[in-house]
């Protein structure tokens, strides 16, 4: 949710893997509206809780997020 623009984004998925779903949501947001809203962005700040599928020890979260960063050329 962008408080400055009063705009949000909702993504619905079917995967049971939290990390995969979270990263796919970021991908869809960026390709759907984020890139147009922030054309000069070179990086993102992702704020996520540290439990469950997004936990600090979960390699899936780190792997999927790194793959997305490489795919989109962001840091």
Q: What is the pLDDT of residue 57?
A: 65
35-58 average pLDDT score: 79
Domain ranges of the chain: 1-26+51-75
Rounded to whole angstroms, the Cα distance separating 26 from 44 reads 10
Its pTM stands at: 0.81
Query: Is pLDDT of 11 > 60?
Result: yes
Query: Is pLDDT of 54 > 80?
Result: no
Q: What is the pLDDT of residue 55?
A: 60
- Under 8 Å between Cβ of 75 and 43: yes
Query: Is pLDDT of 18 > 90?
Result: no
């Amino acid at each position: 949710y962008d408080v400055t623009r009063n705009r949000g984004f909702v993504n619905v998925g079917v995967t049971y893997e939290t990390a995969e779903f979270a990263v796919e949501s970021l991908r869809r947001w960026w390709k759907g509206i984020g890139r147009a809203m922030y054309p000069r962005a070179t990086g993102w700040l992702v704020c996520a809780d540290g439990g469950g599928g997004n936990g600090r020890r979960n390699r899936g979260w780190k792997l999927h997020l790194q793959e997305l960063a490489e795919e989109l050329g962001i840091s």
